[in-house]
């Protein structure tokens, strides 16, 4: 029976959870996830775990924060004076804003804190600093060419 190897296009179903059991993402029977092994489309440790699997096999893959979205970095926090935002604009913690920097780079940042003086925006990935677990099943292997 065929096993998955780099260059193969594979289809998986998975449930991604955090240490507290919260589901952060999933791909089910109606909406599976397809990617090419070795193409860098998923975390390297996930690719490594899938290589050698056969269709129908299941696995639990734990990926530490450092190998997923990395640690949360204070350098990704942006502190701005509250008066840099329009006075009539209601701001809410958790809201996502698109910020354009001086060099033209645009980033989506999450409002972390708001008070009369300051607004703190967080540019970290929402899953930065968190360990991830994928309960997955390999559904299909399309051999690479």
pTM for the structure as a whole? 0.83
Q: Give the Cα separation of 133 and 61 in Å (integer).
A: 6
- Taking domain 74-122, whether its CATH number is 2.40.10.330 is answered by yes
Reply yes or no on whether the pLDDT at 144 is more than 90. no
Is the four-CA dihedral 86, 92, 97, 100 of positive or negative sign?
positive
Q: Residue 128: its pLDDT value, please?
A: 96
- Considering the four listed CATH numbers 3.90.1280.10, 3.10.129.10, 3.10.50.40, 2.120.10.80, the one that applies to the domain covering 9-69+127-142 is 3.10.50.40
| Residues 107/98, Cβ–Cβ less than 8 Å | yes
Q: What is the pLDDT of residues 89-143, one digit of tens each?
A: 889 999 998 888 888 888 899 999 998 899 999 999 999 999 999 999 999 999 9
Is the four-CA dihedral 13, 52, 68, 22 of positive or negative sign?
positive
Q: What is the pLDDT of residues 26-80, one digit of tens each?
A: 999 999 999 999 999 999 999 999 999 999 999 999 999 999 999 999 999 999 9
Q: Residue 66: its pLDDT value, please?
A: 96
- Domains in the chain: boundaries: 9-69+127-142, 74-122
Binned at pLDDT 50, 70 and 90, residue 145 comes out as low
């Amino acid at each position: 029976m065929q096993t998955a190897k780099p260059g193969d296009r594979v289809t998986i179903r998975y449930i991604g959870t955090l240490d507290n059991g919260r589901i952060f993402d999933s791909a089910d029977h109606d909406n599976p996830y397809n990617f090419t092994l070795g193409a860098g489309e998923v975390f390297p440790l996930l690719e490594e775990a899938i290589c050698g699997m056969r269709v129908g096999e299941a696995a639990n893959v734990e990926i530490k924060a450092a190998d997923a979205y990395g640690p949360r970095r204070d350098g990704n926090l942006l502190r701005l004076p509250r008066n840099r935002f329009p006075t009539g604009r209601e701001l809410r913690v958790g809201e996502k804003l698109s910020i354009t920097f001086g060099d033209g780079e645009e980033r989506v940042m999450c409002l972390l804190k708001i008070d009369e003086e300051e607004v703190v925006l967080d540019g970290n990935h929402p899953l930065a600093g968190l360990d991830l677990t994928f309960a997955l099943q390999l559904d299909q292997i399309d051999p690479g060419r």
